[in-house]
Amino acid sequence: QVELVESGGGLVQPGRSLRLSCAASGIRFSLYAMNWYRQAPGKQREVVAAITSGGRTNYADSVKGRFTISRDNAKDMVYLQMNSLKPEDTAVYYCNAEWESKYWGQGTQVTVSS
């Protein structure tokens, strides 16, 4: 059974940092591209950051220079380090695994507010 479990969300003030984690199980993690998506109220889900099985990364323009995605294949974990957070980063953040199939986590809420 495939499971992606996100953690690390919460309420944070603008300009501060958060680190999201996603623990994967039930898949051959090292073969999967791993992605972080987010969905704000009333908006479509959008990809924020991506990392290939080989470690190549890509970011949405809105988070470039502020967010960093990384993976630990030994632990079947993917991370999203979010710095200089802005109110517009407020959303539910989802972990996604993609290779032959696509899997989603349940999401973790990130709220950026003073």
Strands (E) across the chain are located at 3-7, 10-12, 18-25, 33-39, 46-51, 57-59, 67-72, 77-82, 91-98, 102-104, 108-112
Angle subtended at Cα 61 by Cα 29 and Cα 102, rounded to the nearest 5 degrees: 25
Contact 110, 20 (CB under 8 A): yes
Q: What is the pLDDT along the chain (114 residues), one digit of tens a residue?
A: 999 999 999 999 999 999 999 999 999 999 999 999 999 999 999 999 999 999 999 999 999 999 999 999 999 999 999 999 999 999 999 999 999 899 999 999 999 999
